[in-house]
Each structure stands twice: as C-alpha cells, then as structure tokens.
Amino acid sequence: MLSKKLEKALNKQIRIEAESSQIYLSMASWAEVKGLGGIAKFMYTQSDEERLHMLKLIKYVNERGGHAQISDLTQPKTEFGTFQKMFKELLDHEILVSASINDLVHISLEEKDYATHNFLQWYVAEQIEEEALARTILDKINLIGDDKGGLYLFDRDVQQITANSAADTPN
C-alpha cells in the first residue's frame, strides 16, 4: 500500500511524464514543418516513449492501492528557434525529469517503501540513458555548427538513432 505522500509524488511524476510526451510531440511537429524528417521521427518516438513511462506509473500506482490522477497539462512551446536550441531544451528537460525521479527515490526511502524504490530503479536507469543520448546529440550538433550539409547528414543520423533505439527496446 502506497503512503499518501508517495502517492502524491508519483502522481506528480505521472503529470511530468505526460507533459514530456507533449513537449516532444510539439518538437516533432515543429521539426516536421521545418523539413527535418529525421528529427521529427526521433521526437515522435521520444513522445511515444514518454507516454509509455506515464502509463507504467499509472498502472503501478493503481496496483499498489493508490489512485493515479490524470491532471491538466501545461501547453508546450510551439516554436524553438533553431534545432540546436530545441535539443538544448530537450537535454535541460531530461535533467529536470532526472531530478524529479531522484526526489521520488528519496521519498520512497523515507517512507520505507522498498517495492516502490525497486520499481523506480528502472526510471533511474532510463534517465541515465536519456541524458546521455541528449548529450551525444548536442555534441554532434556542436560539430555541425551552421553547415547545411552537416544538418542534412545529422537529420539522417538521428533517424538511425531512432531505429537503433527501437531495436534495443524490449517488447
């Protein structure tokens, strides 16, 4: 049985994951209309992944005797300036999500809820991967600079990252 404190914190994370999905969906749409199909595909995949993270939390809260709350969401930005700025925002957002997951782990230990602590370890590992991926992408972007040919190749490269990530995801 979840404590009320932990249930509230998990519900906050449900909202964060839902908003993450919306943020990436908005980024995907922005990239798509800019002609960056590879980046758009990457962002659509990220959006789907965040939604799955949310659903996993919802199921967990409900299975542990809590009540997962589906709340209103903050509307994401619709303009990102440049694809470089967009990926910097992606990294900053993943760092924020990691901090929130770390807070959840801390609360689970305070509440001596070791089942939830164990459940959250998947999210901890996932966030390490998400931040590393965002940093790798930003490193590639910094190498490109303002080179249009580099942007074309990067757009294709990001599609490959999406394909590789999907192949690594267990069914």
89: tokens are 């925002």
Residues within the annotated binding site?
Answer: 17, 50, 53, 94, 127
pLDDT at 163: 53
pLDDT at 164: 58
Residue 129 C-beta-side C-alpha neighbours within 13 Å: 12
56: tokens are 């996993």
Cα three-residue angle 93-96-99, rounded to 5 degrees:
155
pLDDT at 167: 47
DSSP helix, strand, coil percent of the chain (3-state; round to 5)? 80, 0, 20
User: Domains plus CATH for the chain?
Assistant: 4-168 (1.20.1260.10)
Encode the chain (171 residues) as per-residue pLDDT tens digits: 999 999 999 999 999 999 999 999 999 999 999 999 999 999 999 999 999 999 999 999 999 999 999 999 999 999 999 889 999 999 999 999 999 999 999 999 999 999 999 999 999 999 999 999 999 999 988 888 777 778 878 888 887 775 555 445 443
CA proximity to 42, closest of 29, 33, 54, 52: 29
* Beta carbons within 10 angstroms of residue 119's beta carbon: 18
Residues within the annotated binding site for Fe cation?
Answer: 17, 50, 53, 94, 127
pTM reported for the whole predicted model? 0.90
DSSP state, 80? -
Separation CA 87–CA 92 (nearest Å): 9
SS3 state of residue 38: helix
